């Protein structure tokens, strides 16, 4: 099972920064194009968070008379998602609902044509058995012929630690400026040889146009680092043969030596 207390505490800390932090990720268009291609009537996003992706997709699915569900473990993230939906006066909002649940055990009482997992919610499933149960649970929620699309970053830090037989760290700094707000994000991800679980620490500072600090936070979690063959095995174990492998949001073919993302698509046999 997910280490729920740590995960919930992490997302409660980052919820105020989440949408701004990911505003330059340029992945929403990818998911919109996928929905336009597949035209699902029933769509589920697992790890939906604040609805950053779920809400734009609901606009599309609603035009076809379909329904969308966004699932997340974090009550804090879902609070932001529901608040954004409530602020919308559009008629399509009635086709979208948010639900709280664990990836391994959720039961929504319906099946879907398309399930998506953006930005790797499975990283929090550090135990391989939990990840297998989560994929099997998604498969149970798919209609025959339904599609499961998963996006995970391809991290090479674990490979470096294994080759050196010593701990290594990857550091990153980002600044996102939007209107009169500036968000500075520092990240340190530490890898231990042979462990396949990294420790990730984020530090956030949000300032206004005058440089005054509005909010600060530091938070961390243990994240499972998965290689392409491990992601493929999760699909296969759930009875979802992988049909497509992309290496980025531009739909470039997946290359294990060069790609920054693993976007794998599996289909449930009819």
The pLDDT of 113-130, averaged and rounded, is 96
Can you tell me the distance from the alpha carbon of 217 to that of 221, in angstroms, rounded to the nearest whole number?
Answer: 14
Output the average pLDDT for the chain: 94
- 255 and 176 in one domain? no
Q: What is the mean pLDDT of residues 159-180?
A: 92
Cα(175)–Cα(1) distance, integer angstroms: 34
- Please tell me whether residues 144 and 121 are part of one structural domain: yes
Tokens coding 188: 């340190």
The distance between the two most distant Cα atoms of the chain, rounded to a whole number of Å, is 58
Judgement on whether residues 75 and 117 belong to the same structural domain of the protein: yes
189 and 109 in a single domain? The answer is: no
For residues 236 and 148, give the distance between their C-alpha atoms in angstroms, rounded to a whole number: 12
Q: In DSSP terms, which residues pair with 220 in a beta bridge?
A: 201
CATH number at residue 175: 2.20.25
* Sequence-distant (≥ 6) Cβ neighbours of residue 2 within 8 angstroms: 73, 102, 103, 104, 124, 125, 130
77 and 57 part of one domain: yes
Are residues 166 and 71 part of one domain?
no
Find the mean pLDDT for residues 44-63: 95
Q: Could you give the CA distance from residue 22 to residue 24 in angstroms, rounded to a whole number?
A: 5
d(CA 130, CA 217): 29
The pLDDT tens digits of the residues spanning 9-41 come to 999 999 999 999 999 999 999 999 999 999 999
The Cα–Cα gap between 116 and 119 comes to: 10
Angle between helices 228-237 and 128-140 (to 10 degrees): 50
- The pLDDT tens digits of the residues spanning 212-265 come to 999 999 999 999 999 999 999 999 999 999 999 999 999 999 999 999 999 999
Which pLDDT band holds residue 2 (cuts at 50, 70, 90)? low
What is the domain range of residue 99? 4-154+226-267
What CATH number does the domain containing 52 carry?
3.40.50.150
Residue by residue, DSSP assigns 37-95 as HH--SEEEEET-TTSTTHHHHHHHHHHTT-EEEEEES-HHHHHHHHHHHHH---GGGGG
Residues 145, 57, single domain; the answer is yes
- Cα–Cα distance, 39 to 64 (Å, whole number): 8
Residues 130 and 207 reside in one and the same domain: no
Statement to judge: residues 119 and 210 lie in one domain: no
Q: Are residues 125 and 161 in the same domain?
A: no
Same domain, 67 and 107: yes
pTM for the complete prediction? 0.95
- Residue 3: its pLDDT value, please? 60
What distance in Å separates the CA atoms of residue 243 and residue 266, rounded to the nearest whole number? 6
Q: Regarding beta strands 242-246 and 261-267, do their DSSP bridges make them parallel or antiparallel, or are they unpaired?
A: antiparallel
218 CB contacts (<8 Å, ≥6 apart)?
13, 201, 202, 203, 204
Question: Domain tally for the chain?
Answer: 2
Q: Are 142 and 261 members of one domain?
A: yes
Mean pLDDT of the region 183-209 = 95
Give me the mean pLDDT over the 148-166 stretch.
Answer: 91
């Amino acid at each position: 099972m997910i280490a729920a207390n740590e995960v919930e505490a992490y997302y409660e800390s980052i919820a105020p920064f989440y949408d701004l932090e990911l505003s330059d990720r340029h992945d929403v268009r990818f998911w919109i194009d996928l929905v336009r291609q597949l035209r699902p009537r029933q769509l589920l996003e697992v790890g939906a968070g604040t609805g950053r992706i779920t809400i734009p997709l609901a606009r599309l699915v609603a035009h076809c008379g379909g329904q969308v569900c966004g699932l997340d473990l974090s009550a804090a993230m879902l609070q932001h998602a529901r608040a954004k939906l409530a602020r919308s006066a559009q008629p399509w909002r009635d086709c979208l609902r948010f639900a709280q649940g664990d990836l391994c055990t959720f039961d929504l009482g319906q099946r879907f044509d398309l399930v998506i997992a953006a930005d790797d919610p499975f990283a929090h499933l550090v135990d391989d058995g939990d990840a297998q149960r989560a994929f099997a649970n998604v498969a149970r929620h798919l209609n025959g012929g339904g599609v499961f699309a998963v996006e995970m970053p391809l991290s090479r830090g674990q490979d470096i630690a294994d080759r050196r037989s010593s701990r290594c760290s990857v550091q990153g700094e980002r600044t996102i400026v939007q209107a009169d707000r500036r968000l500075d994000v520092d990240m340190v991800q530490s890898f231990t040889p042979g462990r396949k679980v990294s420790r990730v620490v984020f530090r956030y500072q949000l300032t206004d146009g005058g440089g005054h600090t509005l909010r600060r936070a530091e938070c961390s979690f243990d994240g499972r680092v998965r290689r392409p063959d491990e992601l493929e095995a999760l699909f296969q174990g759930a009875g979802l043969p992988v049909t497509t492998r992309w290496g980025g949001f531009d739909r470039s073919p997946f290359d294990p030596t060069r790609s920054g993302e693993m976007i794998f698509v599996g289909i449930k046999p009819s």
